[in-house]
Structure formats: structure tokens, C-alpha cells
Amino acid sequence: MLVFKQLTLENFGPYFGKQKLIFPSKKGVIIIRGKNGRGKTTIMNALRFVLFGSVKLSGRKNIDLVQYLNIISKTKGNFRYKVILDIELDGKSYEITRLLSPKPGLLCPETINDYQFPEALIKETTESGEQKVLIDSEVKRILNQIMDEHVARFYLFDGELLKEYESQLMGEQDVGAAKIKEGIENILGVPILKNACEQIDVCLDQYSRNFELIIQSNKETEKLGIAITTANTKRESCKIDVQELNSDLSEIRNELSQIQNKLENSILNQEAIKEQAKLQKDIENFNKKIEEKKEQRISELRSTWKGLLSPILQAKKGEINSEIKNSNQIISEREKREKYIEELKTSLNNNRCKLCNQLLDTEASLNLKEQLDKCDCDDLSDSDLKITKDLLLTLQNQSKYIDDFTKDNSTEKICIIESEIREIQTKLLFAKKDLEDTNQEVESMSLSLSEYQSLIDQRDLLKKKEKSSTDGLEKTQKTIKEIEENVKKLEIQLNHVSNDGEVENAKRQRDFVTQLRDLVQNGISQYQNDLKKRVEIDATSLFIKLSDEKEYNKLKINENYGLEIIHKDGEVIPLRSSGYEHLVAFSLIGALHKNAPLQGPLFMDTSFGRLDQENSQNLIRVLPELSEQVILLVHDREIDEERIRGLIPSAIKAKYQIERVSSRESKLKLIEDNV
Amino acid sequence: MVTIGLTTDADHIINELKDHFGFGSSSDMALFAFSYAVRNNLPRVPISGTQTKWGTSTFNVTDFEMIINICYPDNEEDLVTVFRDLIHAGIFKINEIMRDNPDLKISDIIS
């Protein structure tokens, strides 16, 4: 069992001075949260540095280690940085230190050549509590046991680098794939068995030689013994030839594979150039659309102020209408009264009632006069009437103005246009990022015509060499077979001639070891197959928990431990999304952890970026199953912490925040410790 | 000819706001600021030391006169002065909001 206890960074990347990350010893998840550019990936790279002495990123390129020197430290004249990792391995405590420091005598180193190679130093804490410095061979052994560099990405998982890794695993002829396969088998314990087989081969050699010596020392079998030894010597020489031819062939095939890759890339390059042109066109279109939308916005903004006022004017219209009603009422009453006065006056002038046409007596006339006087007293003055009429006109104009003003004046259009601009701007941003990536891709793959032709020539030459080596190999193997047949015949003759018990005994011993070697070899191949089967079963089981696509029901392992998704109808899913690449990788990670003789921690940087909500939730649920120590490096918007707590409430053991001090300095702050 | 003036500060701010929100001209921005002030019943800002920015022909006089008459029926002051003061009130307030939220959009203001 491997447990990370503490990581100390000193002037590494943005971490100025000495800063510590203490990993709780209890099984669970540790969250390290920080914004982009604050130093999450630097933590992973510090681990790569301390474990492997180098930082290898995409394209299998090494990053210049000088770049990790903290700038503040550099300006203060300190050109050294150090990473210390405290671990517990199978119950023993070790402290691994790696230091990058200038060559002696150099005060201002500039390039990596001015620095000493950062050798690892490991101290073992003994039972008495003392620290013992380990010798080089022990250091190498411990580092190999902890983590194989070729599969480190499965333990120091960087979501952004996964695609390249997956493609290596799926390409069965690739040299990188073979190394990764070897690395995976290292983790799974295959080398122990292979070493055992090599030791048996050494024994077999000794027993064979012993057998030959015994035959030669016996007078009856001396001649046969010499013939057998000569044949065996020839066979051994042929075997050496086979080894050399195999080694040549392997080199030729490696070279061929590299050239083939370059040629394929140049074909891919055509695709990338097409993609580049498409993205450039997209960007042009997006820019054009944004300009069009901005023009629309200018035009719309010309009347937006009306939309802003419409609600308030609509409200005012209610008040205006009520005033119009009042004014109309006053004017209408005035008109009624005028008509009544006119009737009274006419009745009095004619001394006859205008309504009933009867003559007025004195009393009725007096009564009408009284009413007439009263009306005159109550009446609105003409000037007031005019004011009221003017007011009415103004109010009516205002009401009509509001009707015209509020017609078709909404603020919705501008909101829609702004939202459309934002949407196109987001698409533009993504297209620019994709174009940047594609430009890099095109640049890295670009070949001139002469380079292309030279590669074709090299490939043809290598193919000829491959053919010649293969023929040589076949011929030598045939010779070995013939020699072995011959040796068999000689040994049959030997059986007839010799009755010596010593010869019999030596032969039995040799045959026994031969059988043992064959048995172990078969065992290894059986173990490798079983291992693959177990990894396939465990990876499938995890994948089903992770994936929300119920029609994908299996993962199938290939020769290099690459995994293919199998649809429930048995078909292989040919093109899987980035999100699914992640899910497959997580499944393999979990299966490797489960089957490895050495269980270890798992670091995951920006792992949720390409997963949708449902798959992210599934991944959170299985996190505790992936490893006993899971360290999540996440940025603020990547995943909602409450969601993690809701799904795996008791699994979070500690939380760190990477805080910004300045653009050149970050600090690690423990903000929650649940142990 | 009747003119409308802005203080140096207001002139500077109105140009910034115009560019930020994507208005076609400063007069469009001014009308928006005026409407914002009316809609939010902002108090008029006492102004001194303005410099001529627009002639009244830049704007539809009927519009701002009508709106001021409708929304401020008790107003007895010169309508152009009220219009100018409300433009100032609007741009200063929008600028204040934008200081707290530099990504402010027109849709945020009108919603």
C-alpha cells in the first residue's frame, strides 16, 4: 500500500518559500480548489518532478525545468527549488527529495545546462525513528515500485492530456503503446514472473552444460557428447543471431512506426488544414454576424429610450384619462345649464312655459326668475370654461401622444439582440481556441514536399531491411530447429550407447528444468490473459456505473490495455466523445488500482471539464472506489462543492484553497480538515 | 437658437457610456439617460458650467416637452433646462452602477 503523507514545495512554480500540502491518512477525497493559473497543475508537475526528475506533457515533450523556478525567488538571487514527498510504502516511511540547483560556481544560471541533474535522494525512517539515506540502487527500486513513468498519467490524471494517451493505447503498433503496456504490466506485477523465468533460463543453461560435460567425460559417449556440444554451441550462436536480428527488427519497426506516424500525420495534416480553413471561415462569419448584430443594436437603441418610458407613460395615461373625464363632465354640465337658462329666459320673455306652453301667472314668473338668478350665481365663468377646455385639449393631446409613443416600443428586442451577441461571442471564443489548437497541430505536423519524399524513401528502405531481417530470422530459426532435431537424434543414439547412471541423472535434471521453464512461460502468458480479463471486467463494471448511456454495456480490452466501448448489439463504438474518453480512462484507472499489487493515491486535475452534469455526478459517486486516496484539483466553476458533499457526504477528508498573493505567488491554505 | 450643454465630466462619461453600450451617437445615449432618470424618478442634478453639446434640433422637442409635461405636471421651469438636468442625473446614476458592475449591459438596466 502506497500512501502520500505530505508534499513540500520550495520555490517551485508560483509557490514562493516553503509550502506544505498534508494529506490526511484516512481513506477519502481531498479537494484542492483554485482559479485558473493559480498552480493546480503545478502541484501535479511537482509530483512528476520529484518522482521522475522531469515533467513530460503533451506530445511526450519534456518541459524545461528552469521554468518552474519561482520568479520572486529568482529576483532575490536564489536559483534553487526543491520538492519533498513524504510517503508510506508497505508500512515503511520514506522521504523523497529532488532539488534543482545550479552547477557549483555558477551564480546566475540561465539554461538547464547550467544546472546539476536533479538526482532523487530517499531517506528511510527506521523503526527507531532515525533517518537512513538509501543507496542509488535502492532509490531506483523504490521509485520504480511507486510509479511507472509511462503510466503516471493514470495516477496523476490530467484531463487535458488524456486524448493523446488514449490514442497511443489504441494504436497497437505504436512504440509508445508498447511502453505503456509494459508500464501497466509493471504496476500489475508481471515483471516479477518474467524475472523468475529468466532465472530458470540461467539454471537451464547450467544443467545443459553439466549434461554435456558428463557425456564428454565418458569414453563410450565422448564422440556423441562432442557432437551434441558442437550442435548446442551452434544453436546458442544461432540464438544470439536471433536475438540480434530481433533487436534489429525491433529497431527497424520502431523507426518504421515513427516514419509511418509522420506520414499519417501529414495526411492528417490535410484534415487539420481543412479544419483550420473551416475555423477561419467560422471566425470570419461570427465576426460578421457580431458586426451585423451591433448595427441592429445601434438601430434598436435609438428607440430603446421609448421602451424605457412606456410603462411610466402608460401609468400616467390612467391619470390623464381620469382628468379628461372630469373636464368633459364639467363642460357637459355647463352646456346643460346653458340650455336650461336659455329655456328659462325664453319662457319669461314669452310669458309662456316652454315645456308645457301654458301662460305664466305671477307666481310662476317669480319662481322662474328666482331659478334664473340661482343658475347665474352657480355658473362657471367663461374664462374658467376656457381654461377647462384648454386643459381638456392638452390632456387629449397627451393621451394621444402616449398612445402613439407606446405603440411598438418594447425593450424585448434589445434584450434579444444582446443575448444573440453574447451567444455569438461565446461561439467565437471557442472557435478561436480551436483554431489556436489546430494551428499548433498543423505547425507540428507540417512537412515540405522534399521532407515527405525523403520519408517515403526512408520507409521503403526500412521495409527492405525489415524483409531482409525477417528472412534472416526465419532462416536462423529454421537452422535452430534443424539443430534441435539433430540434437534429439544424437540424444536417442546416446540412450542406446550409454548405460551410465550419471549421464541419465544429468539428462533428467536438464529435462526437468526445461519443463519447468516451459511451465512458467505458459503461466506468465496465462497470467497476462487473466489479468487483462480481470481489468476488462472491473473496468466494465465501473464504466456501467459512470456512463448514463444504457446501450453501452461493455468495455473490451486490447493487447495494449486500451479499451473499446461495446454497444449492447455487440458493435464497437468507433468515434467516442471527449467526455466518453474520460469515462473510459477513469474506468481503466479504477480497474488498474483494483488489480495492482501496490495500491496507491490518485490525483485528478480538471477532470470534470468535459463531462456533462449526469456523468460528473456518476464520477463523484465512484470516486471513493477508484482509490483509497483521491486528490481532486478543481477550479471554482468546474464543480459545485455542495454537489460533491451531497453525493459522497462523509468521503471529503480535507480541503485546500490555492490563494492568490500576486500574479507570481500563490499560497496553499488548509480550510477544512475532517480527520 | 436653444442649445443643450453638458458639464465636462458628463461629456466624458456620456462618451464612455455610448461606447460601452454600443449606442450610435451620444444624443441617443443622452435620450436613454433622460428616460432612465424619468423612469426612476431621479432628482434633478444641480448643474453649472456646461458647454454646448447639442442644438435642440438634435432632439425631437415635442418628445421631451411632452414627456416632461406628462411626468412632471407641476413643473414651472424651462423645459430645456429640465431636460438637460435629467440627462445629467441619468448618466451620473448609470455611471455609478457601472462602477460596481463593469460588465453592465443595457438589458440589465432596462429589465
pLDDT: is B11 or A429 the higher one?
Answer: B11
Rounded to the nearest 10°, the torsion over CA A67, A73, A79, A85 is -70
Interior/surface letters A585-608, b for 16+ CB within 10 angstroms, e for the rest = bbbbbbbbbbbbeeebbbbbbbbb
Number of domains in chain A: 1
Least confident of A367-371, A635-639, B22-26, B77-81: A635-639
Average pLDDT over residues A643-666: 84
Q: Is residue A11 part of a domain?
A: no
| B81 to chain A, closest Cα gap in Å | 19
A41-55, A373-387, A456-470 — which is least confidently predicted? Answer: A373-387
Give the cell for residue A122: 530517499
Interval A351-378 mean pLDDT: 82
Name the E strands within A288-427.
none
Q: In the predicted model, what is the mean pLDDT of chain A?
A: 84
The pLDDT, as a whole number, for residue A172 is: 46
Host domain of residue A320: 312-407
| Cβ-based contacts of A415 with chain B (< 8 Å) | 107, 110-111
A-chain residues within 8 Å CB-CB of B24? 298-299, 301-302
Query: Which chain B residue shows the shortest CA-CA distance from A300?
Result: B23
* Chain length of chain B: 111
For residues B80-92, one letter each, b for 16 or more C-beta atoms within 10 angstroms of the residue's C-beta and e for the rest, the string is bebbbbbbbbbbb
Q: Quick one: which of A5, A69, A15, A21 has its CA closest to A39?
A: A15
Residue A354: pLDDT over 90: no
On whether residue A366 sits in a domain, the answer given is yes
Query: Alpha helix (H) ranges present in A407-500?
Result: 412-445, 449-497
Domain-embedded: residue A234: no
Residue range A339-362: average pLDDT? 85
Nearest CA to CA, how far is A393 from chain B (Å)? Answer: 13
What mean pLDDT comes out for the span A510-520? 91
Return all residues near A296 (Cβ < 8 A) that are at least 6 apart: A417
Pseudo-torsion of CA A607, A613, A614, A615, nearest 10°?
A: -20
Cβ contact, residue pair B35, A402, below 8 Å: no
> What does the pLDDT look like over B16-31, one tens digit per residue?
999 999 999 999 999 9
| Nearest CB to B107; choose among A294, A298, A414 | A414
Closest CA to B88 of B25, B6, B4: B6
Q: Is residue A371 part of a domain?
A: yes
Mean pLDDT confidence for A463-470: 93
d(CA A644, CA A7): 24
Tell me if chain A has a CB within 8 Å of the CB of B31.
yes
Q: In the structure, what pLDDT confidence band is assigned to residue A153 with cuts at 50, 70 and 90?
A: low
For residue A127, give Cα distances in angstroms to A94, A124, A130. Answer: 12, 10, 7
- The pLDDT value recorded for residue A485 is 93
pLDDT reading at A434 higher than 80: yes
A7's enclosing H/E stretch is strand A2-12
Using a CB-CB cut-off of 8 Å, the residues of chain B touching A298 are 22-24, 28
Whether residue A563 is contained in a domain is answered as no
A394 within domain boundaries: yes
What is the pTM (predicted TM-score) of this model? 0.51
Residue A59 scores a pLDDT above 60: no
- What value of ipTM does the predicted structure carry? 0.92
**Is residue A536 domain-resident?**
no
Confidence of residue A177 (pLDDT cuts 50, 70, 90): low
Residue B62 pLDDT: 85
Quote the percentage of chain A above a pLDDT of 90.
Answer: 23
Given a cut of 90, is residue A582 above it in pLDDT? no
Beta bridge mates, A654: A30, A673
Model confidence over A533-568: pLDDT tens digits?
A: 988 999 999 998 888 888 888 998 887 777 888 888
Amino acid at A27: K
In a domain, A36, yes or no: no
Q: Which residue of B has its CA nearest to A404?
A: B63
User: Which residues in chain A touch residue B66, judged by CB atoms under 8 angstroms apart?
Assistant: 398, 401, 405
Per DSSP, the three-state class of A119 is coil
Report whether pLDDT(A169) > 60: no
pLDDT for the residue numbered A380: 66
